[in-house]
Amino acid sequence: MQFEYTFNSRRSPIVGTRGMVATTQPLAVAAGLEILAQGGNAADAAIATAAALNVTEPTSTGIGGDAFALYYNAKTGKVTALNGSGRAPSSLSIDLVKGAGLFTDLNSPISNPYHPYTITVPGACSAWCDLVERHGKLAISDVLAPAIWLAAEGFPVAPTTAYFWERGADRQLVNTPNGHELTIDGRAPKAGEIFRNPGLARTFRAIAEGGKRAFYQGEIAKAVAAVIQDAGGCLTVEDLASHQATWDDPISTTYRGYDVWECPPNGQGLTALLGLNILEGFDIGGTEPLSAERLHLQIEAMRLAFADTRWYVSDPQFSKIPLEELLSKAYAEERRKLIDPKRATLDQQRGKPVSSSDTVYLSVVDGEGNACSFINSNYMGFGTGIVPKGWGFSLQNRGHNFSLDPKHPNVLMPGKRPYHTIIPGMITRDDELFASFGVMGGFMQPQGHMQVASALIDDDLGPQAALDLPRFCIDDGESGGEVALEVGIPSDVMDTLKQMGHPTQAVDGYARALFGRGQIIMRDSESGTLFGGSDPRADGCAMSL
């Protein structure tokens, strides 16, 4: 791991041995460390951190959204995947969408991203409870205690969060049912101002006492269904009661001797793996991380990956996804041939391997070497901004990712999970944990995963430097989309990429959130030493016991 760089890196990584937490809010990091100090493991601390993030950063995450996790068991060396995404209401259909005047064309999603038809069953609560039940050591009541205290007693709002809270309040909370519960007299809290959320404390106390049944089959479920139906949606208490998270086999690929792990579809982690498979065939180790040659190949690999996954990623319960063929090295070799090393290709099409998004990410590694890579999201900021009366959380708008094209694998159907942008990542080598990592932010996420994994493996960067490295982002995950380039990439490199045919735009300031907000914890397998980094584009940190 090198510690000298050709770019600006703000600080050295955090180092420790007894356990580490990294996420976007220091108070949420403290909640996770508190649980580790009480004897909890990585699973327990991950959920304590996720719940505290719901309190301190409701602009991005919450129990009204969805969650995914990868868990590494140090004793077995195995990685398991948890899909905590919800499904479309049982009565929602394309005909209902058309009848509500929300259909534009086959290539567009529901036209109003905040309409209650975009609300899928919130899957986070089941994911929280199931992760603790299967892998944790403590009771859910103990795990939720720090978040309950934060919600009831209040906390000072962090600066970056205050900025996005104001944007969300103006856009989503002012005119939505009960959105005022997430404001102070109708406005967003200012940086440093104390915010209390007694409704959310009430929600967490109910779950602490009654588990996930309290959310999906009790008073909370009635309030969720009622507010959605009053707003013109169709989700019911029966939809909530029938929800279950699922444990899936994770998907992976090898990249230069390392195993990179992702959750399978309906998540878009496949995109990162396809990009890495394509990139592996190029000798990029001898190029500078921010050179035009390196960035061009990475951008082109991601264009090809998105061309595939914007078609193939869908709910596997409704359509067959050729994962084995897509992830094969032979398929990557064929796709790699489509890259011109000197020129951008903006019209890449999906391949045929067979004949026939605002989020929070957290990483936890405990003293025993267990790791949890966890991600939780409302999707677009506060999601729809609709709040079940008296319960202190907003409802996601994840259903906006459904296609309305009847021929598309990701077409909207009752009881179906949509294409999901949120993805946790993990890297192992010889069954030993190398890194628990993630980069949140819509369609930026697989692009961030590929860039971070390449920085860790190709350039031997430490976790903080890998996160500080300026990034690119292809707009909305479209294979031919405009490429945003983060300020910090040399101007002559930006000019060269434009000359190569890439439509580019330089991005700075708060807009840098476009490039995601990542966390990384690496583990030295011989000494057990943990190295943590936290993204400078957010308010957070990595801390160790």
Location of structure tokens 């590494």 = 72
- Phi/psi region, residue 407 (left: phi>0; alpha: psi -120 to 50; beta: rest), is alpha
Beta bridge partner(s), residue 543: 21
Based on its alpha-carbon atoms, the radius of gyration of the chain, rounded to whole angstroms, reads 22
The enclosing H or E element of 124 equals: helix 124-135
b (16+ CB within 10 A) / e for 307-322: bbbbbbbbbbeeeebe
The first and second tokens of residue 108, run together, are 């567009």
DSSP codes, 238-269: HHHHT---EEE--EEEEETTEEEEEPPTTBTH
Which of 17-56 are b and which e, b meaning 16 or more Cβ less than 10 Å from the residue's Cβ? eebbbbbbbbbbbbbbbbbbebebbbbbbbbbbbbbbbbb
CA-based nearest residue to 7, from 462, 534, 505? 462
For β-strands 246-248 and 78-84, DSSP reports them as antiparallel
Q: Which residues pair with 425 in a beta bridge?
A: 262, 437
- According to DSSP, the β-strands at 432-440 and 359-366 are unpaired
Closest by CA to 385, choosing from 114, 62, 112, is 114
Q: Are 53 and 25 in contact (CB under 8 A)?
A: yes
List 484's β-bridge partners, or say none: 473, 505
Alpha carbon 436 to chain centroid distance? 13
> Minimal CA–CA distance to 29: which of 14, 7, 17?
14
Tokens of 72: 């590494």
Give DSSP secondary structure letters for 40-70: --HHHHHHHHHHHHHHH-TTT--TTSEEEEE
Q: Sign of the CA dihedral 58, 64, 65, 71?
A: positive
Choose, from 359, 384, 421, 428, the residue flagged as catalytic: 359
| 80 assigned to active site | no
How many alpha carbons fall within 13 Å on the CB side of residue 253?
27
The residues assigned a catalytic role are 359
